[in-house]
Structure 1
Amino acid sequence: MKKLITDTLFISVGGFLTKIKGILFIPIIIAAVGLANYGAFVQIYANVKILIPFCALGLGMGFQRYASKIPSTDKYTLSLHFYSILIPSMMLGFIGTSILFFLSPYLNDWFLEGKHLLSLQVSSIMVFSNTCYTNVNKFLLGNKKFKLYSVLEFSYAFIPYLGFVIGSAWEQDIFYGILYYSLLDLLIAMIFFLHLAKDFSIVSPSLKILKQYFQFSYPLAISNIEGGLLSKADRYFISYFLGVEMLGAYNIVHRIVDIITFISVPIRKQIMSYLPKIWDQNYKEESLSMIKSSLFIFLVVSIGLLSYLIFYFEAILDLFVGKTIEIENLKLLVFFLGLAAVFSGVKVFYYLVVRLKNTTKQELFFQFAGMLLNVILNYFLIPIYGLIGAASATCVSYFLIIILLNFFHKINLDYSFLLNVISVIIFAITFFVVSRLIVPEGIISFIVSSCLSSALFGLLSFYSKRKFIKQVTTEIKQYKIMVKSIKKIKST
């Protein structure tokens, strides 16, 4: 249990630092190149990210499903899995880089007002490095190297972004920022690939293993493509209808609010690396119980963060970003984007069940339904309601996916679970009360008010849910016992 907790905390800290890095440097970027150019960078990076699922093909998820069950001492088998997936991934990444490079003139005219062709072409390098990174980090998770994974995640997210900040600020031009970002992105991805490769003998890729992974992951790949359109469709419609400056303002709010999802990452990645062993031994009820407990932990943290951001967001914007950025209906925008982040996190826990059941093809249906609704709503709502239309479209789309998932793949969320969630929502009122009693107008009052409201919410949630916390610890102990029993069976 100690290892589980330390690994989770390690991934959480790395994930949290990764999330806030985009917030900390926003004032520097905007001061150097302006809000419109920051919005252009957001659009350029969105072009890169939307291509990654096409190139990565979700193959890395197979590492968690299959390689996680291979003993660490079996180097030859691990080598086969390693090279059979990562070499094809690199080839696909190179193809993706070429595609983005040749599409750049058209994307530049449609979404960037014809001003950033060179930046778009340079950014195509990141398709290759992102594809490599996407599958390398899943190999680390499959081998339960959570601390090294956290170092990779933090380095890959922070160092290239820092290069973008320095390049943009020093040269007063996002082209140099994107150039530094792309080169550092490639460098770090290659360093970690070579670091892993040195522990394995070079073997010829196995077509059989590639087919096995592809059969498992191709529905996930299509689902990830649909998920990319689901999560990034609003960026394209905003830049097309409202311009890149409004996209820049929207992304600032989105960046800050997206902190809500950080806690779902370590929980999800730990569970998917451990649960396949006991699920495949027919401990299905126990597995679902652990997923339900993890979902509740996520909801407690995410509800608290969402409530905090709703009532403290204006103070955060004034203190850390600058008063030059004015956004209409800010609280409503934060609410819709925050609720979308919560729904997105909840969706992840249902997808764990889908993947444990090996029914990954069904993800295509769920993602497609959400993507289609999101595209339609964005098209009609953004011209009328602006940024609020984009945020509400994303929120409604994720909610639809949860409804469908709950219908086909229940996690046994009983009335007790729902009552516990409602009580947490009630406790979140403390953020409203404290923010009114201690108005966060300056840095001192902001710190005092934030700490007091967060402490009250945490104490109320912890004190009232002591029995549930004991249940979670009991489940973790039961898991360890089940794993030991499986090992004994295999040894005999």
Structure 2
Amino acid sequence: MEIDSFKFGKDILWISIFQIFYAFSGLITLPVLTKNYGAELYGLWAIILATVGLFTPILTLHLGTALIRYFSNDHDKNSISQAFSNILFTIIIIMVSVLILAIYYKYSISNFIFDSSIYSNYVPITFLWAGSTAIFSYLISYLRSQEKVKEISIIQLLWSFFKILMIIFISILDFSFYSLILSQIVVDILFSILVLLYIKKEIKIIIPNFKKMKQYLKFSIPQIPTGILLWLINSIDRYFISFFLGLTETGIYSASYSLGSMISLFYAPISFVIFPVISKFWEQNDKNNVKKYLENSLNMFLFLSIPASVGLFVLSKQVLNLLTTAEFIADSSLILMICLGTIFLGIYEINFYIILLDEKTQWMPFIILSSALINIVLNFILIPYIGIIGAALSTVVSYLLLALIVTVWSWKKINNKPDFKFISKVIISSIIMGIFISMFVNESILRITLLILSGAAIYFMSIILLRTFSYKEMKTFIKILKKLITQITSIK
């Protein structure tokens, strides 16, 4: 287990490098976009991003997940080549078909998603962006199935860097908003070509025969409504805000959401790495190791995300003031609720893999549907009365329900129980840290940086004093950390 734990930790570290950069890239692009395009166009940007987020997994039919599920333990290059080619050509056919429909019905679609036909020219390019992202995402899924985590991290890091560079370049030079979106598509296409060339060194791209597609689709198709419904929970609030309050309020909400959702960088690397690992153990009928990986992953996520949420709550106004303009400053409670919702989403994202391993994907649409319906109803009721706070509250309740369902499922299937004693100590330590930070809040960049570092020190001291980790756990953690540092410093 020690070797596996070390590799697991190393893989998470590699993906974390990208995720941290990606999270902070949002903080870089946030002031660039808000200060150069204003709240209305930033609201349009948020709606387009949400639409791309919806259609990207639809265009892939979630077949990338099938590739990971069935080929993480397969070493037959011929079978992998055939499956990879079958799925790739299927995605391309779907992408082209949807793009044609988007061009033909652009005015109707514009009225539906933007609540105005004046943005109809953005409809085709929005769906083209979804298509380019879908292909890139699928190619990354292949690398993920082969556990090429280091390569994935490097590719995504460069991909994200060039996307940011294009946003900064186009915004500063005062190019059109249309050019801004087009630049993101160009980066997707270029990197998709590079990744495909890399993949061709290992497997062949062959003429599709679509064999075994029925098996893959049986596994993946139930995830399509699941993906749509999960997107509804995550993004429908922007549409409700635009409808009831206007694009300006959508921009304000999206700015706070960009900051609060940074908590996702703590679960995203874990969720990304853990699925291929536990898939292997599951195929070997080693459910004990599946349980250990899920328990340790959840504790790791909560250990980092809870104090980060408290810190963001205390410093939210100061950070938003530095990154945006006064127009985008919202109440701190909005950030707290967004962080809380993201924590519940993280619990879901880590534990829901037990449903995939158990091949019970047919139940996922019903699980997500119950949460999505609650989200829609609450958005419809709360936003007209309490504004964007109502949107955040709706998201918290929806993600809480999802977290509870998958936690109970995991508990019953492999006896994976939350460690409430551990969680309570983390919460207490986070509150102590938050009280300390709140006493010295200042809008100076230097003071905020020092407060973050001091708060982290207070948190870790509290964790040690409360004996949150056993001596054995601390010893194992330090041993793995030393090996990780040795490997990183030895990289040439």
**Which of residues 39, 64, 67 in structure 1 aligns to 2:68?**
64
Tell me what 2:100 maps to: 98
Amino acid at match of 1:316: V
Tell me what 1:383 maps to: 384
Structure-2 separation of matches of 1:357 and 1:194: 34
Structure-1 separation of matches of 2:349 and 2:355: 10
**Which of residues 49, 52, 56 in structure 2 aligns to 1:48?**
52
Tell me what 2:270 maps to: 267
Secondary structure of the structure 2 residue equivalent to 1:271? helix
Tell me what 1:116 maps to: 119
Contact 1:101/1:124 (8 A) holds in 2: no
Amino acid at match of 2:425: S
Contact 1:33/1:169 (8 A) holds in 2: no
* 1:200-215 → structure 2 map (5 Å cutoff): 200-215=203-218
Structure-2 separation of matches of 1:461 and 1:98: 56
Change (3 A) 1:473 1:366: farther
Structure-2 separation of matches of 1:255 and 1:216: 32
Structure 1 stretch 372-381 or stretch 181-190: which is displaced more? 181-190
**CA positional deviation for 1:270:** 1.8
Amino acid at match of 2:40: A
Structure 1 stretch 38-47 or stretch 92-101: which is displaced more? 92-101
Structure-2 separation of matches of 1:126 and 1:339: 30
Amino acid at match of 1:105: Y
Amino acid at match of 2:244: F
Tell me what 2:41 maps to: 37
Tell me what 1:435 maps to: 437
Unaligned runs of 5+ in 1: 478-492
Change (3 A) 1:471 1:225: farther
**1:168 matched to 2:171:** yes
Contact 1:26/1:321 (8 A) holds in 2: yes
Tell me what 2:420 maps to: 418
**TM-score (structure 2 length as normaliser):** 0.90
**CA positional deviation for 1:462:** 5.5
Tell me what 2:338 maps to: 337
Tell me what 1:409 maps to: 410
Contact 2:35/2:324 (8 A) holds in 1: no
What is the root-mean-square deviation in Å for CA atoms of aligned residues?
Answer: 2.3
Contact 1:98/1:124 (8 A) holds in 2: no
**CA positional deviation for 1:469:** 6.8
Structure-2 separation of matches of 1:32 and 1:471: 48
Tell me what 1:247 maps to: 250
**CA positional deviation for 1:158:** 3.8
**Which of residues 15, 21, 27 in structure 2 aligns to 1:17?**
21
**CA positional deviation for 1:414:** 4.6
Tell me what 1:85 maps to: 87
Amino acid at match of 1:209: K
Structure-1 separation of matches of 2:37 and 2:374: 35
**CA positional deviation for 1:436:** 3.0
**CA positional deviation for 1:433:** 2.0
Structure-2 separation of matches of 1:356 and 1:101: 39
Deviations 1:48-92 (A, max 9, x none): 221223211110011211111112xx3222212221211111211
Structure-2 separation of matches of 1:287 and 1:7: 17
Change (3 A) 1:341 1:469: farther
Structure-1 separation of matches of 2:321 and 2:37: 19
* 1:83-482 → structure 2 map (5 Å cutoff): 83-110=85-112, 111-327=114-330, 330-410=331-411, 412=415, 414=417, 417-461=419-463, 464-467=467-470, 470=473, 473=476
Contact 2:67/2:141 (8 A) holds in 1: yes
Matched length: 471
**CA positional deviation for 1:438:** 2.0
Structure 1 stretch 167-176 or stretch 225-234: which is displaced more? 167-176
Deviations 1:182-210 (A, max 9, x none): 22222222322232134322323242332
Contact 2:432/2:459 (8 A) holds in 1: yes
Secondary structure of the structure 1 residue equivalent to 2:336? helix
**CA positional deviation for 1:112:** 5.0
Change (3 A) 1:264 1:472: farther
Secondary structure of the structure 1 residue equivalent to 2:326? coil
Structure-1 separation of matches of 2:471 and 2:229: 36
Contact 1:23/1:252 (8 A) holds in 2: no
How many percent of aligned residue pairs carry the same amino acid? 25
Secondary structure of the structure 2 residue equivalent to 1:441? coil
Amino acid at match of 1:50: L
Structure-2 separation of matches of 1:165 and 1:115: 26
Amino acid at match of 1:9: L
Deviating beyond 4 angstroms after TM superposition, the runs of 4 or more aligned structure 1 residues are 471-474
Change (3 A) 1:161 1:244: farther
**CA positional deviation for 1:247:** 0.9
**CA positional deviation for 1:472:** 10
**TM-score (structure 1 length as normaliser):** 0.90
